């Protein structure tokens, strides 16, 4: 084998900068998001947390909000409580302001991410900072194990320029929100579930290969164009607005066949505990849910 001359560079293979994948994960199910509303009437597409797909442990809910009609989002998400899980807000366009009962504030602009650990309880609001224009983003709910459900609330506010982007051959771009791609680590720290959260942007006729933790559960959500999950057993097209749950394996292979596409790749270590959820609270038992409502009504939650 020839050795490159001094100063020469070795071309990056078109597959990825990761080691070759032994068994890319198959898409074992495909589900379309359903129109819904939340907060004070914000219109959104509920992708995870529906009757058809209630959860992918440890993930409880994924909503996409996208509209350039202010009537669909201007009422926002006024003060509301949470206990027992984490919320992740990812902004693609528009601006939203966060305020909570423990004194945190944050202005979420295009490309920014907010990761809030509700823990034992927090009351917060997320309100639009615009009167018109496109508002586009996602909210993901991540469960907490029983030992962490009553932990102190925590808030991580990450500006767009603090989220690294890895560029692969073929101009594939990956925003690394959580996890590691080609040695580049995302800024989110969430030890309970060790999440991988990637925003993958595929030009036409390109491919993205990436190793995923073997024991993690995960899914792919196509939010622009159609993405192909090229698994060990079969290829499956994931149309825009659909979520594909990933089967077992040691990695992921995505393709954009013919036209450009964008997708969220989300994986996390499963918790494997009972889930009791109602409205803004996610606990392990109904008794714990009832206590959460009592604490909220008495003013104890969020202090």
pLDDT tens digits, residue range 204-240? 999 999 999 999 999 999 999 999 999 999 999 999 9
Give me the residues paired with residue 41 across strands.
none
What pLDDT was estimated at residue 178?
A: 97
pLDDT over 50 (residue 12): no
Task: Find the length of the chain.
Answer: 303
Min mean pLDDT across 5-9, 115-119, 139-143 is at 5-9
Other CB atoms within a 10 A radius of the CB of residue 44 amount to 22
Specify whether the backbone of 15 is left (phi greater than 0), alpha (psi in -120 to 50) or beta.
Answer: alpha
Separation between Cα atoms, residue 130 and residue 97, nearest integer Å? 10
| Residue 72 to residue 299: CA distance in whole angstroms | 31
Domain boundaries, the chain: 27-298
The gap from C-alpha 115 to its chain's centroid, in whole angstroms, comes to: 10
In angstroms, the CA 233 to CA 253 distance is 12
**Nearest alpha-carbon partner for 163 in 174, 148, 152, 149:** 174
Half-sphere exposure (Cβ direction) of 118: Cα atoms closer than 13 Å: 27
Containing H/E element for 282? strand 281-283
pLDDT at 1 over 90: no
Across 98-124, average pLDDT: 94
DSSP code of residue 297: H
Helix (H) or strand (E) holding 96: strand 96-100
Amino acid 48: pLDDT: 98
CB 215 within 8 A of CB 241: no
CA distance 129 to 134: 12
pLDDT of residue 22: 78
Q: Say what the pLDDT of residue 119 is.
A: 96
At 19 the pLDDT is 53
Using an 8 Å Cβ cutoff, are 143 and 152 in contact?
A: no
| Confidence band of 3 (pLDDT split at 50, 70, 90) | very low
The phi and psi torsions of 77 (rounded to 5 degrees) equal -125, 85
| 3-state secondary structure at position 280 | coil
27-298 CATH = 2.60.120.10
CA gap 143, 108 in Å, rounded:
23
The model's confidence at residue 7, banded by pLDDT at 50, 70 and 90, is very low
Indicate the SS3 state at residue 294: helix
């Amino acid at each position: 084998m020839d050795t490159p001359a001094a100063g020469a560079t070795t071309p990056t293979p078109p597959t990825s900068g990761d080691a070759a994948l032994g068994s890319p994960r198959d898409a074992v199910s495909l589900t379309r998001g359903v129109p819904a509303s939340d907060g004070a009437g914000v219109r959104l597409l509920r992708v995870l947390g529906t009757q058809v797909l209630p959860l992918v442990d440890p993930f409880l809910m994924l909503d996409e909000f996208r509209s350039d009609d202010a009537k669909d989002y201007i009422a926002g998400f006024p003060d509301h409580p949470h206990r027992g899980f984490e919320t992740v807000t990812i902004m693609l366009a528009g601006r939203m302001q966060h305020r909570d009962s423990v004194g945190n504030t944050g202005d979420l602009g295009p490309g920014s991410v907010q990761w809030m650990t509700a823990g034992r309880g927090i009351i917060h609001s997320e309100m639009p900072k615009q009167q018109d224009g496109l508002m586009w983003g996602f909210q993901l709910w991540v469960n907490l194990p029983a030992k962490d459900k009553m932990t102190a609330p925590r808030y991580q506010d990450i500006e767009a320029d603090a989220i690294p982007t890895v560029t692969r051959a073929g101009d594939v771009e990956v925003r690394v929100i959580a996890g590691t791609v080609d040695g580049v680590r995302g800024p989110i720290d969430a030890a309970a579930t060790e999440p991988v959260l990637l925003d993958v942007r595929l030009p036409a006729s390109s491919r993205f290969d990436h190793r995923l933790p073997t024991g993690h559960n995960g899914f792919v959500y196509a939010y622009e164009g159609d993405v192909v999950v090229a698994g060990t057993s079969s290829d499956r097209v994931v149309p825009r607005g659909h979520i594909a749950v990933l089967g077992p394996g040691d990695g992921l292979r995505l393709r954009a066949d013919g036209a450009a596409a964008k997708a969220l790749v989300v994986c996390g270590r499963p918790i494997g505990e009972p889930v009791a959820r109602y409205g803004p609270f996610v606990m392990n038992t109904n008794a714990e849910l009832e206590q959460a409502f009592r604490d909220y009504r008495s003013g104890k939650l969020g202090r």
